[in-house]
Structure 1
């Protein structure tokens, strides 16, 4: 007789349970990302603002003209925005996890959370960032802000649709060529489709002459670091919480009665 598994899957919790855990994980991830943004990103923002004020003349005072003080922007404003962003992404990722669990292979809740988190990071953050990277203050024409935002959102939508198409392609190919070959073909198709989208969508280059290239790239790397920390922290925390919700603890061993 086979011995029972030390861990067993508990009855599947409702999507609401995983949604709440995903939002909690997103809140914690947002708190960690806020620290990274404050330590890495804000010094670059201050440096860019200083350059902007210097270019506008000594009479230009960014802090005086802004309806919210720069200190408040860099603390409470930044923290609130990052926390809300983390909660929203956590909820979306939790719902994707609910759908993916058991449908992308025989992975447990924690491994599924890691795969879903990695896929969402690539789709929602990395692919759009490589085409339209973040810019510090003083970079970008205010008159084209709406156009730049629309192009960035379009890149996110295209990336998500192409990722979904690659997933469907891999599932269709798997019975004929095996899971490994199907995954490789789907990944190659996704990369090729993204390359075509990059080529067809217009580029944006509004960096003013004389803006320090080192400051620009430091800001962009800091922005990417914030996103990477956010998703990595979420994946670790949500994987732990999802496993706690979906996997029962090991059953206690019964004491063996001594034979007389």
Structure 2
């Protein structure tokens, strides 16, 4: 299979993943955001600081961008981001295909999606969790972004280092159960170091933000990312398996295997 063919499948899988994430935004994330905006509105009525003026209000209090337009824009952005992720996913898959565990392309795709979700979504969410609109100081945006990027890069580094260690251990004749145990210990230790050593978010949660709202938003945001990676792995894996099916059938025919009997 050509690299261009793999890349096209990555784009198609990315579109499906983005649409799935957009559905989660609409059904799960958006209701929580509306609850957070209600907290902001109540805060502004009592003389507190309201939402960012560029999006929330202008002059007479009318929104510059309607909430419906923001939801549509978020859905479109979700698809575009997922397509870009799908392209990167396809490139990484093509580069590491023979090094990924599992025998079929579907299993390899799911393994890569699980590793990517853990490294670039789950770990940053644990250390620098996302906050609803009612939480966050605009003055700390730069620091929060930097910390999130650092954790993300460290997660990618862990995902790259552990397989290297695994191959080194395997080359020394270590049995598979021992290797898996060492890999697990390495992941736990490295993740713990990231969680302990990297500073946390500089923002504090205002007293008027309910704890349930905060955690609902964080879980909803993480669910959106999980659905995106799951859909990407599933669709890409299925597309790759479908593309490989004719080749496997031809090999079976050439070898006089089961497919030859069926074809006859």
Is 1:21 matched up with 2:9? yes
1:77-122, CA deviations, whole angstroms, 9 ceiling, x for partnerless residues?
Answer: 0111110111111111111111221223461111111111111111
The 2-side partners of 1:184 and 1:254 are apart by: 44
Structure 1 stretches lacking a partner, 5+ long: 1-12
Residue among 184, 193, 198 paired with 1:196: 193
Task: Tell me which residue corresponds to 1:32.
Answer: 20
**More contact order relative to length (CA 8 Å, sep ≥ 6):** 1
Matched with 1:125 is: 121
Asked whether 1:150 is paired with 2:165, we answer no
8 Å Cα contact 1:166-1:187 kept in structure 2: no
- What residue in structure 1 maps to residue 184 of structure 2? 187
The residue aligned with 2:34 is: 46
User: 1:143/1:63 Cα in 2 relative to 1: closer, same or farther (>3 Å)?
Assistant: closer
What secondary structure sits across from 2:154 in the alignment?
A: helix
Structure 1 residues 42 and 170, CA, compared in 2 at 3 Å: closer, same or farther? same
The residue that corresponds to 1:93 in the other structure is 89
Indicate which of 133, 140, 144 corresponds to 1:137.
Answer: 133
Mean CA deviation greater in 99-108 or 46-55: 99-108
Partner of 1:67: 64
Deviation at 1:169, TM superposition (A): 0.2
Q: How many pairs does the alignment contain?
A: 244
Aligned with residue 244 of structure 1, among 217, 242, 245? 242
Task: Tell me what 2:219 maps to.
Answer: 221
Rounded to whole Å, the distance in 2 between the matches of 1:105 and 1:43 is: 39
Per-residue deviation, residues 165-210 of structure 1 (Å, max 9, x unmatched): 1110011101321233223212311221111111111112421113
User: Structure 1: how far apart are the matches of 2:31 and 2:126?
Assistant: 23
TM superposition shift of 1:254: 6.3
Q: Does 1:253 align with 2:241?
A: no
- Whole-Å Cα distance in 1 between the matches of residues 96 and 176 of structure 2? 16
User: Whole-Å Cα distance in 1 between the matches of residues 28 and 83 of structure 2?
Assistant: 22
Match of 1:174 in 2: 170
Matched, 1:79 2:86: no
Q: Please list the CA deviations of residues 110-151 of structure 1 after superposition, one character each: whole Å capped at 9, or x if unmatched.
A: 111111111111111111111111110010111000110111
- Equivalent in the alignment of 1:104: 100
CA distance in 1 between partners of 2:210 and 2:229 (Å) = 29
The CA distance in 1 between the partners of 2:118 and 2:24, in whole Å, is 20
Q: Is the 8 A contact 1:101 1:107 kept in 2?
A: no
**CA–CA distance in 1 between the matches of 2:39 and 2:165?**
49
Equivalent residues of 1:100, 1:112 under 8 A apart: no
TM-score normalized by structure 2?
0.86
